[in-house]
Structure 1
Amino acid sequence: MISRAALLLVVILLCTCDPAPQDITEVDYGGPLTITRDSISLTVDPAYGARLTSVTYGDRELLYVVRDSSGFTYGSTAWPSPQADWDWPPPATLDREPYTVQKVEEHSILLESREDSSGLVLQKRYRLGPDSDIGLTYWLTYNGPTTRSVAAWEVTRLPYTGRIVFFADSVRTVGDARRVVESQDSLRVIHFDERHTATTKVFADLDSVPVRYYTDGLILEKHTVVQDFYRVAPGHAPLEVYIDPPRGFVELELQGDYRKLSYGKTTTLRTKWRVVPDR
């Protein structure tokens, strides 16, 4: 159910094609929105980049929700890739400025950013499924005068605890020189504990999904497309993991398909999260 009793429920057209949804109706809901299905609840803040500010399973929070003074490093967001196009911080229009709430259903929310100075517009849809799963879709549309090569990039902050497990053909690290990734053939494990003390970035060439994050008796599975035709932006990898022990969080990042866009064209990233007890 939707946590604000006064919300007007409207029908959302669920687009499964590449272009972004069209013919939407803008609705001003005001304030964060929370939707719940069975054991999963998620909260979206339209006023702050349509960011996921909370994902809970029962009473257990999965996301890193501590806000620093900049407000950059909490919750789950999406950016354009490659980072070389904008360095740091991320484009404010897409990452942390207000979005318009376009459509709301009992178990889904669709939001849209304003147009960034680069000509990019980002739409986000969050949908709760019947199996403790969340479907996330990001449509990145280019409205600039020439062409632009770009991908959507999902960045999820998680507490610095537990471990992540994934299969990758190869990995490389930037930062802490000590060994971060434990490997047995293509099986890779990163523990988030006292053995790491400095920031590190891991780039992994996934050969299968899901990527699994284990914490507090739960497993967060992340699924995305990993196929031969899948193109990744220069300098990036399908899976990236940023480790920041001093500040107590991890970024679990998935890259979308890197495409050259002309005016009005869209590149799409779809991910699926599933939360299950760690039995």
Structure 2
Amino acid sequence: MSKCYSLIAFLAISVALFGCGKSNEAEQLPVFCKQDGSRLYIKQGNISMEVMPKVAARVSSLKYDGHEILVGIADPDQITDWGTVFWSSPQSEWSWPPVETLDSKPYTLGSQEDRLVLTSDIDKKTGYQFTKTYMPTGDDRISVTYRITNHSDHKKNVAPLEVTRLPPSGDLFYPRGDTDPISGIFYPLDVQNIDDLTWYHYDAKKIRTDHHKVMQDGKEGWVAYVDKGYLLVKEFADNPPAAIAPGEREIEIFTHVEHIFIEMKQQGASVALAPGEHLDWTVVWHVKKLPEDLAKNPEPAALATYVRSLL
């Protein structure tokens, strides 16, 4: 991981509130972004990302040359089973369902220099306001910077958590960290230790009568998903287990009992925010079509080497 991405995690606290000013849908968008009705389209290299400002600025589609990587929107009224969302951690603060103001309500659209900026309202229960900033950062690569601002009247310990819903197929893997895998209240996920990797292969026959989950510390600051010859890598600042929110882990994989999706989750360090302070956390999305030889023989060590070559 480059030093500039790691640095973002250590610039977590700032007393200056984020100010992009009032915006509206007529505002000039960055050149990489086009608007079509209620949806925004970000194009970078071979990838196209769709963002929906009216549904919490979540990523609703991610394509490589037309091949869909995510579980996209099927029913606009069903907000829990598709796309990529952003939550605060620990989840125990808000339990379930997710906070509507932050997870499913409209965000304000704006731009700042060469960045696309979307901002939530302030949630009355938690006091949080989320900002999502999208910007291409290289070939087949888009960075998303998340901001959590504490608008409550007291100090709060909070961490950033990104959740991506993927099709129920393929494999997920990441460098194994310093903690053993746990499953929380769910069935344990059937993962393997392969060299220095934690490896999960989706097998619908092994999903029992409940959801399955694995939670574990990672290393190197990345987690990857491969399916049908396409690769998605999330790159972020690595943190030791002690920096993660209580009851949480740096990386999580969750499988839905009805075989609707796999969730790939990763989170940043927990930060103590005084009223008016905020944290920033960046995740870089790498999307690739695998080289032909690797697509035909997706051997774990070779895939990990390829991923590391991208970071």
Q: TM-score, length-normalised on structure 1? A: 0.87
Which residue number corresponds to residue 140 of structure 2?
132
Structure 2 residue aligned with 1:171, among 169, 174, 181?
Answer: 181
* CA distance in 1 between partners of 2:20 and 2:117 (Å): 13
* CA distance in 2 between partners of 1:116 and 1:233 (Å): 20
Are the aligned partners of 2:20 and 2:112 in contact in 1 as well (CA < 8 Å)? no
Letter in 2 for 1:83: Q
Per mean C-alpha deviation after superposition, the further-off stretch among 22-31 and 210-219 is: 22-31
**Are residues 1:235 and 2:243 paired?**
no
Alignment of 1:215-234 (within 5 A): 215-228=227-240, 231-234=243-246
Deviating above 6 A after TM superposition, structure 1's stretches of 4 or more consecutive aligned residues are none
Which deviations, in whole Å up to 9, do the C-alpha atoms of 1:144-200 show, x marking residues without a partner?
1111111111111111110011111332224335x6101135311101123422321
Which residue number corresponds to residue 153 of structure 2?
145
* CA distance in 1 between partners of 2:241 and 2:216 (Å): 17
Which residue number corresponds to residue 24 of structure 2?
27
* CA distance in 1 between partners of 2:54 and 2:113 (Å): 19
* CA distance in 2 between partners of 1:164 and 1:89 (Å): 26
CA, structure 1 residues 104+64, in 2 after alignment: closer, same or farther (shift >3 Å)?
Answer: farther
Letter in 2 for 1:264: G
- Secondary structure of the 1:98 match is coil
- Secondary structure of the 1:47 match is helix
Which residue number corresponds to residue 4 of structure 1?
none
Task: Mark the runs of 5 or more structure 2 residues left unpaired by the alignment.
Answer: 1-7, 27-36, 292-311
Which residue number corresponds to residue 97 of structure 1?
105
Per mean C-alpha deviation after superposition, the further-off stretch among 128-137 and 223-232 is: 223-232
Which residue number corresponds to residue 190 of structure 1?
200
* CA distance in 2 between partners of 1:190 and 1:229 (Å): 21
Which residue number corresponds to residue 60 of structure 1?
67
* CA distance in 2 between partners of 1:270 and 1:125 (Å): 9
* CA distance in 2 between partners of 1:230 and 1:43 (Å): 35
* CA distance in 1 between partners of 2:181 and 2:162 (Å): 19
* CA distance in 2 between partners of 1:230 and 1:42 (Å): 34
Are the aligned partners of 2:85 and 2:163 in contact in 1 as well (CA < 8 Å)? yes
- Secondary structure of the 2:183 match is strand
* CA distance in 2 between partners of 1:31 and 1:237 (Å): 35
Per mean C-alpha deviation after superposition, the further-off stretch among 59-68 and 42-51 is: 59-68
Which residue number corresponds to residue 206 of structure 1?
218
* CA distance in 1 between partners of 2:50 and 2:73 (Å): 15
Which residue number corresponds to residue 78 of structure 1?
86
Q: TM-score, length-normalised on structure 2? A: 0.78
Are the aligned partners of 1:218 and 1:278 in contact in 2 as well (CA < 8 Å)? yes
Letter in 1 for 2:111: K
1:130 deviates by 2.2
Which residue number corresponds to residue 12 of structure 1?
none
Which residue number corresponds to residue 119 of structure 2?
112
1:260 deviates by 1.3
Greater strand fraction, Structure 1 or Structure 2 = 1
* CA distance in 2 between partners of 1:23 and 1:249 (Å): 35
Q: Percent identity?
A: 29
1:228 deviates by 4.1
* CA distance in 1 between partners of 2:121 and 2:272 (Å): 21
Greater helix fraction, Structure 1 or Structure 2 = 2
Task: Mark the runs of 5 or more structure 1 residues left unpaired by the alignment.
Answer: 1-15
Per mean C-alpha deviation after superposition, the further-off stretch among 75-84 and 203-212 is: 203-212
Which residue number corresponds to residue 13 of structure 1?
none
